[in-house]
Chains A and B, each alone.
Chain A
Amino acid sequence: MNTGNFKPAIIYTIYVASTPERVWEALTSAEFSRKYFFGNAVEVDQRIGGAYVVRQADGALHISGVVIECDPPRKLSFTFNVNWPELIEKLGPTLVTYEIEAAGDAVKLTMTESHDRPLDEDILSGGRQGWPAILSSLKSLLETGEPLVVKMAPPQRMLAALKRMGIKTP
């Protein structure tokens, strides 16, 4: 997949008192992700072309994609497509990149969500709401041993926009 035409739409940086290896593990393991990612489990086949999958607590497939770049523990880039009909056709794929850098005794984690076309702010509002919650919870998990269980309300503005476009959501 040619990712050269993807442009960043959402960038979120957070500093975590941990090591790059631990942050990488938290981002790529089912055990960790269930705790900070609203009960969803991430599974990554860590090689270019490997599957990136997110399953809900009941095992149902929620998000799927493919690893584009994999340089542990520094950089992971993958497509990240929610499993709703016609989403990719109408909105294009979503590309997510994690960059993990040592910053003093801590880690600087930067999440970049990119798209191959301009998207309405209503559509992006879901990610703008979700990413700070997910990554704040990951930070709490690594620093205190407990995730910050942010019981997020569904992103109504985004869901309404998807409905207007004819994309069926649960």
Chain B
Amino acid sequence: MSKPEFVYVVYIHSTPAKIWDALQNPEMTKEFWGRRRNRSDWKIGSQWRHENYDDATEVAVIGTIVESDPPRRLVLTWTHPNDAAPDAVSRVSFDIEEYKGSARLTVTHTDLSPEMLRAISTGWPAVLSSLKTLLETGASLPMTRQNWKKAG
């Protein structure tokens, strides 16, 4: 039996380039992703870190860049820094398309343990809803601007 996956689709009145930038530009990311930033040189094979914007030593998630085709597709591996078990690595794909005057963002999170599935099923809708609010109104959802202590 294959491992569960989580797929989230959201339509945003914005452009693929702006959505791509929001995922990588720390000034944007911290606004909708619990005051965290994504740090990488974004080259294929490079490491990626999801860390506290105010404290780079506090790292919630790490992984590697598997695919990068700006602004259309970004694929990362995803694991918690203290998890050494091989099945603790999952994979996240961001697919960003223009769709009839707007943009469609599809996040696919695969290779999930049941615990991870529960955690990210709550996390992704909040993060991505807030990204949409930020791009469409200029301000994110306030509850997503606060530092989240828990990983994921």
Residues of chain A having any CB pair with chain B under 8 Å? 12-17, 103-106, 128, 132-133, 136-137, 139-140, 143-144, 146, 148-151
The segment out of B19-27, B41-49, B68-76, B129-137 that lies at the interface is: B129-137
Which chain A positions have C-beta within 8 A of B143?
A: 103-106
Q: Contacts A17-B137, A104-B141 known; A136 to B12 CB distance under 8 Å?
A: yes
User: Which secondary structure dominates where chain A touches chain B?
Assistant: mixed
Which chain A positions have C-beta within 8 A of B56?
A: none
**What interface size band does chain B fall in?**
20 to 34
The contact of B11 among A17, A104, A148, by CB within 8 Å, is A148
Q: Is the CB of B141 within 8 A of A140?
A: no
Q: Is the CB of A139 within 8 A of B129?
A: yes
Given contacts A139-B133, A140-B13, 8 further A-B contacts (CB under 8 A): A12-B125, A14-B129, A15-B129, A128-B9, A136-B132, A150-B99, A150-B102, A151-B101
- Interface-centre pick from B13, B101, B137 (highest chain A CB count, 10 A): B13
Which chain B positions have C-beta within 8 A of A140?
A: 13, 132, 136
Judged by a CB distance under 8 angstroms, whether B126 is at the interface is yes
Residues of chain B having any CB pair with chain A under 8 Å? 8-13, 99-102, 125-126, 129-130, 132-133, 136-137, 141-143
Which chain B positions have C-beta within 8 A of A149?
A: 101
Q: Contacts A106-B143, A144-B137, A150-B99 known; A13 to B125 CB distance under 8 Å?
A: yes
The contact of B133 among A133, A143, A148, A150, by CB within 8 Å, is A143
